[in-house]
Amino acid sequence: MHMQMDNVDTPLLKLEHISQVYGSGQRSFTAVQDVNLVLNEGEFVALLGPSGCGKSTLLRLITGLQSPSEGRVFYRGGVMKGVNPHASIVFQTFALFPWLTVLENVEVALKARGIPKKMRTTRALDLLDRVGLDGFETAYPRELSGGMRQKVGFARAMAVEPELLCLDEPFSALDVLSAEALRGELLELWTSGNIPTRALLMVTHSIEEAVFMADRIVIMDKEPGRVVKELRVPLIHPRVRKHPKFLEVVDRVYAILAGQTLPEYLELGTAPGEPGKTRSLPHITLNELTGLLERVAEMPNYRADIYRMAEELKLNSDHLLLLMESAELLGFATITQGDILLTSLGETFAEASILARKEIFASRIRRLPIFKWMIAMLRAADKHRLEWEVVQTALELEFPVDEAERQLDTAVNWGRYAEILAYEDNTGIIYLEPSASLAPGAPAAKEE
CA atoms of 114 and 36, how far apart (whole Å): 34
Q: Which is closer to ligand ADP, CB of 65 or CB of 306?
A: 65
204 contact choice in ligand ADP, Mg ion, none (CB below 5 to 8 Å, kind-dependent): none
Q: Which is closer to ligand ADP, CB of 22 or CB of 265?
A: 22
Residues in 331-370 at the binding interface with Mg ion, rule: CB under 5 A? none
Give the x-and-dash track for 189-228 against ligand ADP (CB under 6 A): ------------------------------------x---
Under DSSP, is residue 174 helix (H, G, I), strand (E, B) or coil? coil
52 contact choice in Mg ion, ligand ADP, none (CB below 5 to 8 Å, kind-dependent): ligand ADP
Angstrom distances, CA of residue 169 to CA of 47, 65, 91, 150, 266? 10, 18, 7, 12, 36
* 57 interacts with ligand ADP by CB under 6 A: yes
Q: What angle do CA 45, 51, 55 make, to 5 degrees?
A: 35
Question: Contact, 134 vs 128, CB < 8 A?
Answer: yes
Q: What angle do CA 300, 312, 285 make, to 5 degrees?
A: 100
219 pairs with which residues across the strands? 48, 229
CA atoms of 106 and 121, how far apart (whole Å): 9
Return the DSSP state at 349.
H
CA atoms of 318 and 306, how far apart (whole Å): 12
Composition of the chain by helix, strand, coil, percent to 5: 45, 20, 35
Q: Which is closer to Mg ion, CB of 203 or CB of 309?
A: 203
The residue within the footprint of ligand ADP, chosen from 53, 109, 255, 418 (CB under 6 A), is: 53
The residue within the footprint of ligand ADP, chosen from 7, 28, 36, 51 (CB under 6 A), is: 51
In the complex, minimum distance from the CB of residue 295 to ligand ADP, in angstroms, rounded to a whole number: 22
* 282 interacts with ligand ADP by CB under 6 A: no
The residue within the footprint of ligand ADP, chosen from 12, 19, 54, 304 (CB under 6 A), is: 54
Residues in 52-91 at the binding interface with Mg ion, rule: CB under 5 A? 56
Q: Which is closer to Mg ion, CB of 90 or CB of 127?
A: 90
53 contact choice in ligand ADP, Mg ion, none (CB below 5 to 8 Å, kind-dependent): ligand ADP
In the complex, minimum distance from the CB of residue 62 to Mg ion, in angstroms, rounded to a whole number: 13
In the complex, minimum distance from the CB of residue 357 to ligand ADP, in angstroms, rounded to a whole number: 20
* Closest listed residue to residue 170, CA positions, set 278, 84, 55, 77: 55
Q: Which residue's C-beta sits nearest to Mg ion?
A: 56
As separate numbers, helices (DSSP H) first and strands (DSSP E) second, the chain gives 16, 16
* 52 interacts with ligand ADP by CB under 6 A: yes
In the complex, minimum distance from the CB of residue 36 to ligand ADP, in angstroms, rounded to a whole number: 17
In the complex, minimum distance from the CB of residue 172 to Mg ion, in angstroms, rounded to a whole number: 10
Buried b (16+ CB within 10 A) or exposed e, 260-286: beeeeeebbbbbbeeeeebbbbbebeb
Contacts of 235 (CB under 8 A, 6+ apart): 211, 245, 246, 249
Q: How many residues bind Mg ion (CB under 5 A)?
A: 1
The residue within the footprint of ligand ADP, chosen from 13, 31, 233, 257 (CB under 6 A), is: 31
Using CB under 6 A, list all residues that contact ligand ADP.
Answer: 22, 31, 51-57, 225
